[in-house]
Amino acid sequence: MTKEQKQEVIDVLKSKFEQYNNFYITDTESLSVEQVTKLRRHCFNKQVEMKVAKNTLIKKALESLDAEKYAGVYAALNNVTALLFSENPKEPALIISSFRTESKGDRPTLKAAFINGDVYVGDEQLKALTKIKTKNELIGDVIGLLQSPAKRVIAALLEKANKEGGVEAAPAEAAPAE
């Protein structure tokens, strides 16, 4: 690989790191070409970008952006590395989990994840990452919590109105029957 080609890869990676607040670093070393293709297809279907690059180039791209911010992921840059970029912080974790289940294996393994400034290191973090709530899920929860008291007040008012309306309606209905 020439110096120009390496710089091109670094520039592409830098733009991806700037574009996404979330990325996963995975080890795909023992996957066959067919399995990697299948993993790429899963990622594509879920709007997750998958990039494979040399660890030194990944590290240079990260260091050129903010060496301190990404310091927690440098130790994970070893062996064969595939990067998964996503707007949704839990989608790559779900893809990895479902891929493992489907292939009845333990690959790809999670080496690290960078989620909105927080670093998660190690494959044992995968289960926790599948449970992260997305921004839209959190907004839905907050809206649900805000609506709950209002719904109770409205229900109480309607119940009171029905009781009061029911008492007055009974004599009015009885009058025409006489």
Residue 84 is predicted with a pLDDT of 97
> What would the pLDDT profile of 106-145 be if each residue is shown by its tens digit?
889 999 999 989 999 999 999 999 988 777 777 888 888 8
What's the rounded Cα separation, in Å, for the pair 35 and 51?
A: 15
Residue 145 is predicted with a pLDDT of 81
Residues of the chain with pLDDT under 50: 167-175, 177-178
Residue 151 is predicted with a pLDDT of 80
What's the rounded Cα separation, in Å, for the pair 114 and 129?
A: 11
Spatial CA neighbour of 25 closest among 68, 80, 66, 64: 80
Residue 166 is predicted with a pLDDT of 59
DSSP string, 92-143: HHHHHHHHHHHHTS--SEEEEEEETTEEEESGGGHHHHHTPPPHHHHHHHHH
